[in-house]
Structure formats: structure tokens, C-alpha cells
Amino acid sequence: MDGASSGTGLSLERVTKEFGAFVAVDDLSLHVPAGSFFALLGPSGCGKTTTLRMVAGLERPTRGRVRLGDEDVTDRRPHRRPVNTVFQSYALFPHLSVLENVAFGLRRRRVAEPLTRAHEALALVEMDHLADRRPALLSGGQQQRVALARALVNNPAVLLLDEPLGALDLKLRRQMQVELKRIQTEVGLTFVHVTHDQEEAMTMADTVAVMNAGRIEQMGSPADLYELPRTAFVANFLGQSNLLRGTVVEGPSVGPGSVLAVDVGTGRRVLVPTERAVRTEGEVLVGVRPEKLHLVTRDEEVPWDVNVVGPGRVTDVAFSGVSTQYQVAVPGLGTLGVFVQNISGGGEVRVGDEVHLACAVRHAFGLDGAEDVASGVAEDGAA
Amino acid sequence: MSIVTAIGHGPGNARAATSPARAARGPAYLLLAPGIAYLGVFFVIPVVALLVTSLYVPVPGGDVGQFQPAFEWQNYVTVLSTYWPHLVRSFGYALVATLAALLIGYPVAYAIAVRARGRPFVQAMLLVLVIAPFFTSFILRTIAWKQILADESFVVAALRAVQLLPPDGRLTATAFAVVAGLTYNFLPFMTLPIYASLERLDPRLVEAGGDLYASGPTTFWRVTLPLSMPGVVSGTLLTFIPASGDFVNSVLLGNNGTTMIGQVIDSRFFKVSDYPGAAALSVVLMVAILLLVTSYIRRAGTEDLL
Ligand SMILES: Nc1ncnc2c1ncn2[C@@H]1O[C@H](COP(=O)(O)OP(=O)(O)OP(=O)(O)O)[C@@H](O)[C@H]1O
Ligand SMILES: [Mg+2]
């Protein structure tokens, strides 16, 4: 099996994996274009590792097909797939030196000069000086980098990374993120990168898929996912959101710039662009990101394309240098979070002040009202 | 001295920091005392006695079995020149038996540890079957083999019928029977250590092998087998060492041409009362095993895995 010099596309078609009665991956379909950087983001236990294992051939899907490029590889044994994995547990061979670990795949494929190439791969992850050590003597972060080199050196058609940077400290992590991204663009490999860390997923990936309970909730570019979440889980898991429960009281207006009017309780109406709403009638959730909200001190006259709710009382002010985070309790709506950039120095609004909250209509989004407002909140990724 | 330095956390006070550890050694030696005393009484003293006895000479004009202290090197020359074939034969049989036990024991251990992984009940049952022979005396079991391999037994009849054995061929009282007996008797000592190291083997390493283009057999050869070497080394030692000194299998299952060194020592001691000769042979056997085992462990190179 020869490693491809550049990436191959990867498709999962309606893949399901059951362990007994437990469904770990549920009817999942996705397509990763050749040479792209794809991130799978989701909370612990949502089936990310299981998905990767099915691509690597370490787990057989209960249903569905796995394709690499044009080939159906569902029934192919792992060693016959041009795919390599950076395992979550590293899985370095304890009886081999770091160098021989990295050369393992090259030797199996009888690649010329395996040791030279292994040294190069180790240099790439800044581990060449420890090439003669046994893995047991390395720190967690060092083991992780060796695992990365061991997979990368094979130039696989698809590289699967199962939280490959989880054990690194912040500085090394950022450095490796840049390095990984550079390798990926340079060599043109297809990367499937599993992570808990939403920031990592968003900064590195061309496409992010947010997974929850064995399903993909939403897939798209990082900016699309952030600006227009389609489920409450995505809205809360990726960054933070203020979600207000309400009922559509005036259907989509006609023409360009169509909006819905939503009653969010006690007669307060907010507008949501129709194309940003999942539902256009009945119960909905109106969402807005905290940094899109502004504090307005007087109930001033506002233009039609700005939603205003309030009055509410400031219950908490957290100053973090670049920005200030306010919590505002609005009777009947609950507590809303607001991020304000400290452009003007801040400090004008204090705990106990009465404020109104304003946001541009075009920043609001509408979700299905049947969803749980708290779904995806503060699960491990949503820092 | 301040309270801080007194409890050994004083900054830069290395001596204060080490003294609690030194003080802790007293109780440690105290706890070791029974073990050290046991080894002294049942190992060191007998070995010294053995060495001393091996150099004794017969009392001039004395009875059979009467010896006096001396420094008779010649004893070693005599026993070695007389019994070297038995020594070589013992190591030969032990080696063949060890290899046979490895070939049988490894697959058994693999089946229990790897194939039955995740089914604790099956594993427990199979392990009991491996250990079950220990429930009866090993002499009795060896006598049972004598019956099984006897000329009129169905085993011999069956082997003759399928022409694996010539019509006048026999199994009992042959070198084959002795080696088979040794293999059988020491098989659990081979199987259990290998089982223990295969059980510890992380299945994710085997998956990593597959992910890195190694087929099933290659993964076994390059990952599983090297990682189970500690078990193989202990298993082979636990089989080879007692097998080379064995004095039961050859008596019960062999003939005059299969005499092993353990049997010789036994008869030198009990039958002809040649205590220095028996002692010298024992020392030779011990030293030979020590040399063989040391070079074997060196070669196996598993120190960092043990
Ligand atoms: N072999 C198995 N047998 C039974 N259940 C399994 C097996 N492998 C995984 N699971 C279950 O499937 C679910 C998904 O597991 P998976 O390892 O894919 O999660 P994950 O998204 O990678 O989580 P994490 O971020 O913690 O690594 C978990 O609930 C897990 O307990
Ligand atoms: Mg995982």
C-alpha cells in the first residue's frame, strides 16, 4: 500500500456504529474534500473517536459505507488503507526507540532510507534530539509529538488526528497548531482533526463539524457556524449565545430583507431575518451572540433594524482587559450576557444600573422552539 | 535547630532532609530480617556445606560413606570425566523439552490472554485447566504417563495402526518419552508467565501496528511477540532450570541410555554414598545452569522490559 503524495477525499455515507444496544455513531454522513482540513468538534463521548476508528478500519460500521476518493474501503483491513492515525492514547511501541517507532510504517512499506526520513519527521516536531530514547522516558507532550511524527512520516492520503495536541501546554500547542496547518497546506494532505477545543477547531479547520450524541449537528466553515448556528447545541457549544424563547406573531414579510416578528414574552417584539431562522412559525428560540449586544442606558428612539429589550438590571461586571462581560437580568427573559470591547475605556456601567440591550436585527438568528435552551452549555468545549 | 530544619524541609539543608530517610532504614531491615534469616539458613549454609563437602576425601581405611575434610580438586575432575555425557544429555533433553513447551504453551497463553480477552469467565476456566495438573502429585502423573505410553496402551496401538510407529516400536522407556514427560510436567511454568505478559499487552498497540501497514502476522512478529518476551524469558527459565536437574521423568519413563544428571546425583548420594561426588556434580550443575542462564538473559536483552 503506497502512501499518496497528496490527499484524497473522504466520504462517510450514512454510517452507523452500534455497541450492543448503544448507538455510538448515528446515521452519520459527511464529505471531506481532498486536501482540506476538517475538524470534528464535540463533547466527550459523542462518538468522535469511534468515527475516526471506522475511517482507519479499526472498527467496522454496523451500517453505511466509508469511501476514500473513489474507492469503497468499508471492508478493507486497516493495514491496507492509506490512512494513518495519531491516537488519543499515543500508542507508541514501548519496545522500540523513538526513531524506530517513527520508522515502523516506512519499514513495513519498504520505503527507501527509512531512518533518514524518520529523522526528518522527528526534526519537524522538534524531537530529533531524543531519537534514541524509549517512549516510556518521554513526557506526555513529547510522546504526542512522536505519535504525530510517526503518522505524518507516511504521507497518508488521509491523516486522522485524535486530539493530537491535548497534552501540550498552551505555547507548544499554538506552535504545533501553526506547524500542523503549515504541513497540511504544504503537503496537501487531507486532515481529519478531532478536538474538544473549539478555538483550535475554528482557527485551524476549513470545515468544522459539530458532533453531539453520535450525530453531526451542523457542518460548515468556522465563520458560518459561529455567525449562524442552526441548533441550540451549536449556539451554546461554539462560543456563547443568549437564547430567548418566543412565538412568531407576524409571519415572514415579503420581499428582500424579509423578517419575522417574534414575541419573546410580555409583549416585547424582536425581529429576526427570515433567512436566518430555522422555523418561520410557532415556537422559536431567538439567539444573539453576547458581543453583538450593546448596552443602551436610556430607552432612546431606535432605528427599525435594531432590536431592543429591557429594561434590565446589571447583576455582574467582569473586566478582562480587552473586554468587559456584563450579566443583565431582564424580568421575564432571564439573564443575558453582553461582551463590550473596552474601546472607550469602560467603567460607565456598574452593578445595579438599569440598562436596555440592543442588537442589530441582522445579527439575530432563529432556532427551533422545541429545543432545550441550555443544550451544549458549559459542556467541556464551551470555555 | 528550628522546627523547620528539624522536620527536614529546611531550605538548603540537605543533611537534615536525608536523615529521616536514613532513620527509616532501621525498620526496613527489621522487616527483612525473617527473609534474610530464611535465606541464610536454607540457602547460604547449604551451598557452603555443598562446596565444602565436594572437596572431602574418604577416610583412609574407613567404611563406605565415611569422609574427612580435605581440599580435593580431583573430585571435580573425576565426576566431570565420568559423567559429562549425562550432563550434556540433561541439558539436551531440557532444551528440547523447553522448546516443545514453548511451542505448545505460547499458543495456549495467547488463546487465553488475547483471544478470550473481555470474557473473564472463559479466561478463568481455561486458566484452571492449565493449573489443574498441579492438583495431583507430579510423581503420580508421571506414573500415569507410563501407563498411557505403555506397549499395550491404546496410544501405542493407535500410532502403530496409522503407521506412525513401526509394529515393534514403543514409546515407553525411550528418550522421546522422557522429553515428553519433561514437557508435560513443566508446561504450566511456561504457559503462565507468557499468559501474564500477553494479558498486560495493550491491544491499542496491536491496532497501531495495523494502522502502520503491518499485517496480522507482521504485527504479531514486530509488536506482540517482542512485548511478550519477558514472559517467554521467565517461562523458558522456569522450564529449563528444573527440567535439567530433573530425576523423576527419566527414572519412570526412560531406560539406561536416558539417564540424566539429577538421577546420577541421586544414586551417587543414596545408593553408593559418594557424598563428595554427588556434591561436586551438584556444584557443576549449578554453575553450568548459572552460566547458561546468564548468557541467555544477556542475549534476550529484555532487561528494560522485565
Ligand atoms: N468498544 C466499545 N464498546 C462499547 N461502547 C463503546 C466502545 N467504544 C466506544 N464506546 C462508547 O461510544 C461512545 C463514544 O465513544 P468515543 O470514544 O467515540 O467518544 P469521543 O467522542 O471520542 O469522546 P472523548 O472526547 O472523550 O475521547 C462512548 O459513550 C463510549 O462509551
Ligand atoms: Mg475520543
Contact A93 B208 (CB under 8 A): yes
The rounded distance, in Å, linking the Cα atoms of A231 and A365 is: 10
CB contact under 8 Å between A91 and B213, yes or no, is: no
Q: How close A173 gets to chain B, by Cα (Å)?
A: 24
Q: Is pLDDT of B191 > 70?
A: yes
Confidence of residue A267 (pLDDT cuts 50, 70, 90): low
Among A88-102, A152-166, A367-381, the minimum mean pLDDT is found in: A367-381
Give the residue from A166, A128, A163, A168 showing the smallest Cα distance to A149: A128
**Higher model confidence: residue A179 or residue A53?**
A53
pLDDT attached to residue A1: 38
Cβ–Cβ under 8 Å, residues B81 and B280: no
In the predicted model, what is the mean pLDDT of chain B? 87
Pick the residue whose CA is nearest to atom 25 on ligand 1: A44
Contact B209, B203 (CB under 8 A): no
Q: Which residue has the cell 482557527?
A: A203
* pLDDT grade for B217, boundaries at 50, 70 and 90: very high
Tell me the three state secondary structure of residue A189. coil
Only one residue has cell 475605556, namely A345
Residue A19 CB–ligand 1 contact under 6 Å: yes
Q: Do B211 and A95 touch (CB under 8 A)?
A: no
Average pLDDT value for residue range A183-212: 89
Distances in Å between the alpha carbon of A9 and those of A30, A110, A153, A162, A208? 11, 25, 19, 18, 16
Residue of chain A whose alpha carbon sits nearest to that of B218: A108
Residue A250's DSSP bridge partners are A261
Exposed, middle or buried: residue B274 (CB in 10 Å: 0-12, 13-18, 19+)? buried
- Please give the residue of chain B at the shortest CA–CA distance from A95: B227
Average pLDDT for residues A335-364, to the nearest whole number? 84
CA of A183 to the centre of ligand 1 (A): 29
Q: Which three cell numbers stand for residue A43?
A: 463533547
Query: Taking residues A262-272, what's their average pLDDT?
Result: 81
Q: In which band, very low, low, confident or very high, does the pLDDT at B24 lie, cut at 50, 70 and 90? A: low
Indicate if ipTM > 0.90: no
pLDDT(B94) > 90 = yes
pLDDT per residue over A161-181, tens digit each? Answer: 998 888 788 888 888 888 888
Interface of A with B in 66-95 (CB under 8 A): 77-79, 83-85, 87, 89, 91-95
Cβ contact (<8 Å) for A109 and B215? no
Q: Is the CB of A48 under 6 A from ligand 1?
A: yes
Q: Which of A152, A192, A250 is nearest to A66 (CA)?
A: A192
- Cell output for A128: 530529533
Given this model, what pLDDT does residue B9 score? 40
Q: Is A310 left (phi over 0), alpha (psi -120 to 50) or beta?
A: left
pLDDT in tens, A277-312: 888 888 889 999 999 988 887 666 777 788 888 788
A85 C-alpha vs ligand 1 centroid, how far in Å? 17
State the pLDDT at residue B180.
93
pLDDT (average), residues B237-256: 92
CA distance A111 to A239: 45
Q: Mutation test of ligand 1: which of A12, A15, A16, A19 has the most ligand atoms closer than 8 Å to its C-beta?
A: A19
Q: A280: which DSSP letter?
A: S
Query: What pLDDT score was predicted for residue A383?
Result: 38
As a whole number, the mean pLDDT across chain A is 87
Any CB–CB contact under 8 A between B207 and chain A?
yes
* CATH-assigned architecture of domain A10-227: 3-Layer(aba) Sandwich (3.40)
Question: A183-187, A218-222, A374-378, B182-186: which range is least confident on average?
Answer: A374-378
B304: which chain A residues are within 8 Å (Cβ-Cβ)? 134
Q: Which residue has the higher pLDDT, B40 or A369?
A: B40
Cβ pair B211:A150 closer than 8 A: no
Share of chain B above pLDDT 70, in %: 90
3 state SS of A93? coil
For A119-179, give the DSSP string: HHHHHHTT-GGGTTS-GGGS-HHHHHHHHHHHHHTT--SEEEEESTTTTS-HHHHHHHHHH
Q: What is the pLDDT at residue A188?
A: 83
More confident residue, B24 or B75: B75
Q: What is the pLDDT of residues B108-167, one digit of tens each?
A: 999 999 999 989 999 999 999 999 988 888 889 999 988 888 888 888 888 888 888 888
What is the predicted pLDDT for the residue at B189? 95
Is the distance from CB of B276 to CB of B67 less than 8 angstroms?
yes
At A30, the pLDDT band (50, 70, 90 cuts) reads very high
Nearest-10 Cα torsion for A103, A106, A110, A113: -60
Q: Provide φ and ψ at A343, rounded to 5°.
A: -75, -40
**Residue A20 Cα: closest atom of ligand 1:** 4
Q: What pLDDT score does A350 carry?
A: 83
Taking 3-state DSSP, the helix, strand and coil percentages for chain B, each rounded to the nearest 5, stand at 75, 0, 25
The residues in A 147-176 lying below 8 A from B, measured between CB atoms, are 150, 154
Q: Match domain B2-17+73-305 to its CATH number in 1.10.3720.10, 3.40.1010.10, 1.20.120.1200, 3.40.1110.10.
A: 1.10.3720.10
Which residue, A326, A344, A346, A345, is CA-closest to A336? A326
Residues of A in contact with B212 (CB under 8 A): 79, 84, 104-105, 108, 150, 154
Per the CB < 8 A criterion, the answer to whether A226 and A365 are in contact is no
Q: Is the pLDDT of residue A17 over 70?
A: yes
Shortest-distance atom of ligand 1 to CA A196: 25
CA dist A101 and B86 (Å) reads 47
| pLDDT score of A382 more than 80 | no
Percent of chain A with pLDDT over 70: 95
Q: Is the CB of A24 under 6 A from ligand 1?
A: yes
pLDDT, one tens digit per residue, over A103-143 is: 999 999 999 999 999 999 999 888 999 999 999 999 888 89
Scored b (16 or more CB within 10 A) or e, A75-112 reads ebebbebbbbbbbbebbbbbbbbbbbbbbbbbbbbebe
- For residue A286, count CB atoms less than 10 angstroms from its CB and return exposed for 0-12, middle for 13-18, buried for 19 or more: buried
A150 or B21, higher pLDDT: A150
Q: How far is the CA of A162 from the centre of ligand 2 (A)?
A: 7
Q: Tell me the pLDDT tens digit for each residue of B269-293.
A: 998 889 999 999 999 999 999 999 9
Q: Looking at the complex, does the CB of residue B303 fall below 8 Å from at least one CB of chain A?
A: no
Q: Which CATH number fits domain A240-368: 3.40.50.2000, 2.40.50.100, 3.30.930.10, 3.30.479.10?
A: 2.40.50.100
Contacts of B132 (CB under 8 A, 6+ apart): none
pLDDT surpasses 70 at B197? yes
For CATH 3.40.50.300, the residue range(s) in chain A are 10-227
- Whether residue B20 has pLDDT greater than 60: no
Instruction: Give CA–CA dist A36/A220, Å, rounded.
Output: 13
| Chain region(s) in chain A for CATH 2.40.50.100 | 240-368
Under a CB-based contact definition with an 8 Å cutoff, are residues A152 and A124 in contact? yes
